[in-house]
């Protein structure tokens, strides 16, 4: 197993307490976790996500395209559809979702 070189470049400190899930996501979208392996440890977290199941019929071509794009983004088709529908509704509504 190859040893990882230690970087001599300065890195941003990991915030001690992210105020929101979005703030944590923004930080890790902009930073590489492997640059922080020396200061990281495994933790167990519990997340409560509220959801409501709704059946929506999709054209087979739309379903295949959604599944392809979801795989490319490493998310479930349901997650991607929820994100896109929420974005569209927010963009066309006076009230944020």
| pLDDT (tens digit per residue) in 46-58 | 888 888 889 999 9
C-beta of residue 77 within 8 angstroms of C-beta of residue 70:
yes
C-beta of residue 56 within 8 angstroms of C-beta of residue 66:
no
pTM: 0.49
Cβ neighbours for 47, distance < 8 A, ≥ 6 positions apart: none
In a domain? residue 27? yes
Domain residue limits at 56: 21-92
pLDDT digits (tens, 9 = 90+) for 7-60: 556 888 888 889 888 899 999 999 998 888 888 888 898 888 888 889 999 999
Per the structure, the count of domains in the chain is 1
In a domain? residue 50? yes
Distance of CA 20 to the CA centre of its chain: 13
């Amino acid at each position: 197993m190859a040893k990882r070189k230690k970087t001599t470049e300065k890195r941003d400190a990991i915030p001690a307490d992210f105020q929101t899930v979005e703030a944590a996501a923004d930080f890790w979208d902009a930073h590489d976790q492997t640059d922080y392996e020396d200061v990281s440890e495994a933790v167990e977290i519990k997340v409560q996500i509220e959801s409501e199941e709704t059946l929506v019929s999709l054209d087979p071509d739309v379903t295949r395209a959604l599944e392809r794009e979801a795989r490319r983004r490493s998310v479930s088709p349901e997650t991607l559809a929820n994100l896109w529908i929420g974005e569209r509704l927010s963009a066309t509504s006076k009230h944020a979702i």
